[in-house]
Amino acid sequence: MYADLHAGWGGTPQTGSLSASVLDSLYSQIAIIDGTGQIHYVNRAWRDFGHHGLPPDHPWPGSNYLDMCHLHVGHNEAPSGPVRPQIQAVLDGEAEAFDYEYPCHTAQEKRWFMVRISAMSDHPGHFVVSHQNTTRRKQQLLAGQEALRASAQHSQAILDNMVDGVITINAQGLMESFNKAAGKMFGYSVDEVLGRNVSMLMPAPHRLHHDSYLQHFQHTGEARIIGTPREVEGLRKNGQIFPMSLSVSQVDRAGQPTFIGIVRDTTQRHRQDEEIRRLAFYDPLTGLPNRRMLMDRLKQAIASANRSHHHGAVMFLDLDHFKQLNDTRGHDVGDLLLQQVALRLNDCMREVDCVARLGGDEFVVLLEDLSSHAHEAATQTEAVANKILYALSQPYTLREQIHESTPSIGIVVFAQDPTSQEELLKKADVAMYQAKSAGRNTACFFDPSMQAAVLARAELEKDLRQGLAQNEFMLHYQVQVNERGMPVGAEALVRWFSPQRGTVPPGQFIALAEESGLILPLGQWVLETACAQLRAWAAQPATAHWTMAVNVSASQFAQADFVATVVAALQHTGANPHLLKLELTESMLVNDMQDVILKMNQLKARGVCFSLDDFGTGYSSLTHLKRLPLDQLKIDQSFVRDILTDTSDAMIARTIVALGHNLGLAVIAEGVETAAQRDFLAGLGCDAFQGYHFGRPEPAGVLQKFI
């Protein structure tokens, strides 16, 4: 068999023995087996190696390889999977060759062998089994793996000892690594985050941003955030949002993009920045903005006033006789006062306003977004100034001693004037000295005319209030006549006889009364007085049919209890509701139409009538007019004045008459001063007239002449 084989290989014994000697010279252990596993030949290395403890003189040819190959398996480190079927597959011609590595350790050393079983193409039915000692290669491999593991551990140790958080994510945004610092920063353990989307570490708005960013990357492969570190916000596990800086780099691992994010919690740095800002822009004693900050805010305020057309105001404020306190009780007590003043000032302000301390006892208040009307803005500022005057003049407790202090305030209101911050401060400062010379504990406007106007209004309001309390008001009545010139009633018009001011016409105080709310008690008084007069007329046969027109202000009508007060006035006085005519104006129709109609209907149900005053000057829409339960339209006197000479006035009057009649309403003209005007209006079909031509507003007694 041996010789056969030799002959079969080389064709001649020479070549055969040459082959055998070649095989014997190899380090690899070679055996030739047939399809049953029977060994036909083994080389020297095989014999010398003493497979599985068999002696070198073991009769190898003749024994079966398959019987011993199970010994490989089940050895201390078996190759994975059963090898027998795979060897069998080669022997059965189902596979070309089969390789496997198996360990074969002895007590002294660890060894590995590589086994290859392959078919001999030139000797069908025969197979070469070669065992090769791969121990050295295996050891190198194991050493390499070990080195790799050590290096990975080393890297992880570096990552874990880094102050910065390091997070790697894949192109899908899933986290692949998360170092200790990141864990500490975000409050998660590694296990809680690996494989999860990194967006869990971002507050909601950034999350959206991140999603769209990743989508962009997935579509285009373009990574826009790479490189430059950015300030973003992070979300901790406990829900806390914190500032952090983030820089991202991209690396490719096995062809897959991986993003490495380095994050740093910047809370501390922000605090430090804040502290630096505080020192640079705030007064350490009071915590208020300092001059630098004020100048900055002022500049912005001037720019914003220029844009928005809203006024702003600067108040310059200092404490009267502050020096005295400092001199008598010492600077630290002076400081205590300044601190308390700062607190009180802040309490007087809206969030948007700015209170600053310039130094010493000088404070500046900046108000923004005041009215676009100069006078209103001045009034608003004055209200704040009054609040400050009041707040700062309340007693202070300084080291258990009561201290009285008052401020002097200089005010400058600004709008679109191209002034500088310095100029504004100077003006306010000047005004403050005006306040000081005016006797202290007061506020002065820089603009003398503005100051005068504000003062005048304040005076008027004060007098109005006093006038109400002291019954300085009186009603005059102006007769209204029908188309035949017969008196049919009168309009009640309020008059104010002020001891200081003389007779004040309603045009000068009704608007202020409306703004200040004084119209409510005044209107109530008018209503009661007019109803009482109506009742008096009812008692006389000649005037028993007269109606009484009473003007009602929008704010009066808007009161929730308006209907009730009218009803109460009628009941008190016993006046006939059918003879009471309330004059509304178009201005009150722009608000809550639903409410207007409801109230009108409630009064209407009791018999009260309604006239629409000053008609033609407002913006009533026809649909509104149709829905209102009106009885009369009153053509405004501005159309009557030139009705004979101005064709468009005449046209308007004609239209109003036609409109009123079409809606089933009576039409009255007011301000009729001449017979010609009356005749013209009568020609248009006007039903009633009121004006100096028939009579001026006069006390009730004087109206007796119409009887």
Contact with ligand C2E (CB under 6 A) among 505, 607, 685, 699: 505
477 beta partners: 492, 698
Give, for 456, the enclosing helix (H) or strand (E). Answer: helix 448-469
- Residue for token pair 């501390």: 268
User: 569 with 584: CB under 8 angstroms?
Assistant: no
Give, for 337, the enclosing helix (H) or strand (E). Answer: helix 331-348
Instruction: By CB under 6 A, tell whether 179 contacts ligand C2E.
Output: no
Instruction: By CB under 6 A, tell whether 633 contacts ligand C2E.
Output: no
Strand-pair category, 165-170 with 126-133 = unpaired
Instruction: By CB under 6 A, tell whether 670 contacts ligand C2E.
Output: yes
Instruction: By CB under 6 A, tell whether 692 contacts ligand C2E.
Output: yes
- How distant, in Å, are the alpha carbons of 493, 536, 539, 541 from that of 544? 20, 9, 6, 5
Encoded one letter per residue, x for contact with Mg ion by CB under 5 A and - for no contact, window 535-574 reads: ----------------x-----------------------
Distance CA 481, CA 688 (A): 6
Cβ of residue 431: shortest distance to ligand C2E, in angstroms? 36
Question: Which of 27/619 has CB closer to Mg ion?
Answer: 619
Piece of 175-183, 194-202, 316-324, 500-508 that binds ligand C2E (CB under 6 A): 500-508
- How distant, in Å, are the alpha carbons of 232, 262, 409 from that of 203? 10, 18, 47
User: Can you read off the two tokens belonging to residue 426?
Assistant: 């100077």
Contact with ligand C2E (CB under 6 A) among 671, 678, 687, 688: 671
Contact with ligand C2E (CB under 6 A) among 283, 361, 614, 687: 614
Instruction: By CB under 6 A, tell whether 566 contacts ligand C2E.
Output: no
Piece of 258-266, 281-289, 462-470, 576-584 that binds Mg ion (CB under 5 A): 576-584
Cβ of residue 614: shortest distance to ligand C2E, in angstroms? 6
Contact with ligand C2E (CB under 6 A) among 553, 573, 576, 611: 553
Distance CA 197, CA 178 (A): 12
Distance CA 688, CA 519 (A): 29
Total number of residues that touch Mg ion (CB under 5 A): 4
Task: Give, to the nearest 10 degrees, the angle between helix 448-469 and helix 519-538.
Answer: 40
Q: What is the 3-state secondary structure (H, E, C) of 470-492?
A: CCCEEEEEEEEEECCCCEEEEEE
- How distant, in Å, are the alpha carbons of 254, 300, 303, 308, 669 from that of 419? 66, 12, 10, 16, 51
Piece of 25-33, 73-81, 432-440, 551-559 that binds ligand C2E (CB under 6 A): 551-559
Give, for 102, the enclosing helix (H) or strand (E). Answer: strand 97-103
At residue 258, the 3 state secondary structure works out as: strand
Question: Which of 586/614 has CB closer to ligand C2E?
Answer: 614
Question: Which of 132/551 has CB closer to ligand C2E?
Answer: 551
Question: Which of 451/551 has CB closer to Mg ion?
Answer: 551
Question: Which of 463/583 has CB closer to Mg ion?
Answer: 583
Contact with ligand C2E (CB under 6 A) among 296, 447, 631, 673: 673
User: 306 with 372: CB under 8 angstroms?
Assistant: no
Contact with ligand C2E (CB under 6 A) among 334, 697, 700, 703: 697
Contact with ligand C2E (CB under 6 A) among 450, 510, 518, 584: 510
Phi and psi angles of residue 54, each rounded to the nearest 5 degrees, phi first: -80, 145
Contact with Mg ion (CB under 5 A) among 265, 320, 586, 614: 614
Question: Which of 83/552 has CB closer to ligand C2E?
Answer: 552
Cβ of residue 612: shortest distance to ligand C2E, in angstroms? 11
User: Can you read off the two tokens belonging to residue 149?
Assistant: 């593991």
Instruction: By CB under 6 A, tell whether 408 contacts ligand C2E.
Output: no
User: Can you read off the two tokens belonging to residue 408?
Assistant: 């002097």
Contact with Mg ion (CB under 5 A) among 613, 635, 654, 703: 613
What is the distance, to the nearest Å, from the Cα of residue 380 to the centroid of all Cα atoms in its chain? 27
Cβ of residue 480: shortest distance to ligand C2E, in angstroms? 10
Instruction: By CB under 6 A, tell whether 305 contacts ligand C2E.
Output: no
Piece of 362-370, 547-555, 592-600, 644-652 that binds ligand C2E (CB under 6 A): 547-555
- Residue for token pair 């309390």: 469
Give, for 315, the enclosing helix (H) or strand (E). Answer: strand 312-319
DSSP 438: T
Instruction: By CB under 6 A, tell whether 493 contacts ligand C2E.
Output: yes
Instruction: By CB under 6 A, tell whether 421 contacts ligand C2E.
Output: no
Distance CA 169, CA 163 (A): 19
Cβ of residue 457: shortest distance to ligand C2E, in angstroms? 18
Distance CA 658, CA 615 (A): 13
Give first-to-last CA distance, the chain, whole Å. 162
Contacted by 16, from ligand C2E, Mg ion, none: CB < 5 to 8 Å by type: none
User: Can you read off the two tokens belonging to residue 678?
Assistant: 């009356």
Piece of 164-172, 209-217, 287-295, 502-510 that binds ligand C2E (CB under 6 A): 502-510
Identity of residue 619: Y
Question: Which of 322/509 has CB closer to ligand C2E?
Answer: 509
Cβ of residue 568: shortest distance to ligand C2E, in angstroms? 18
Binding residues for Mg ion, rule: CB under 5 A, are 551, 583, 613-614
Binding residues for ligand C2E, rule: CB under 6 A, are 478, 493-494, 505-507, 510, 523, 526, 551-553, 583, 613-614, 637, 670-673, 691-692, 697
